């Protein structure tokens, strides 16, 4: 399986995570319900489809790189709601975490899946 993969569709055709323009940090009323059940459901399916060539269980960790803090917040809520870490081994983080983890002089990985 590839180490890096794009979600389909991607680029300008990609689906918004549902947290766009700060919507991910709005908690009053039913914003969380809307984010999870409407936009989040589509993004979660897209995430699952990106890993369809991997074993579906938690034995193989899978990492979703979110491009911004709003996306990270929304993807965190989606993965928590659907139990993706426990059921599928799907974790999330940002580009900064990936860059730090790839630094050659780092003795241990910055992202330790067992600590998440």
DSSP state of 26: -
- Asked whether 17 and 39 are in contact (CB, 8 A), the reply is yes
Per-residue pLDDT of the chain (116 residues; tens, 9 = 90+): 568 889 999 988 888 887 776 666 666 677 788 888 888 899 999 999 999 998 989 999 999 998 888 888 889 999 999 999 999 999 998 888 888 877 767 677 666 766 66
Q: What's the pLDDT score for residue 99? A: 82
Q: What's the pLDDT score for residue 1? A: 56
Cα(97)–Cα(79) distance, integer angstroms: 18
Q: What's the pLDDT score for residue 30? A: 76
Q: What's the pLDDT score for residue 116? A: 65
Q: What's the pLDDT score for residue 68? A: 83
- Asked whether 116 and 85 are in contact (CB, 8 A), the reply is yes
Q: What's the pLDDT score for residue 104? A: 67
The three-state secondary structure class of 103 is coil
Residues near 54 by Cβ (< 8 Å), separated by ≥ 6? 1, 60, 62
């Amino acid at each position: 399986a590839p180490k890096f993969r794009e979600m389909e569709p991607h680029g300008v055709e990609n689906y918004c995570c549902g947290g766009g323009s700060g919507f991910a940090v709005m908690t009053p009323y039913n914003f969380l319900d809307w984010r999870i059940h409407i936009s989040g459901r589509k993004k979660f399916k897209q995430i699952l489809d990106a890993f369809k060539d991997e074993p579906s269980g938690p034995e193989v960790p899978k990492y979703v790189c979110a491009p911004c803090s709003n996306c990270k917040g929304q993807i965190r809520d989606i993965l928590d709601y659907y139990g993706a870490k426990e059921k599928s081994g799907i974790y999330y983080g940002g580009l900064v975490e990936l860059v730090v983890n790839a630094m050659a002089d780092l003795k241990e990985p910055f992202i330790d899946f067992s600590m998440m």
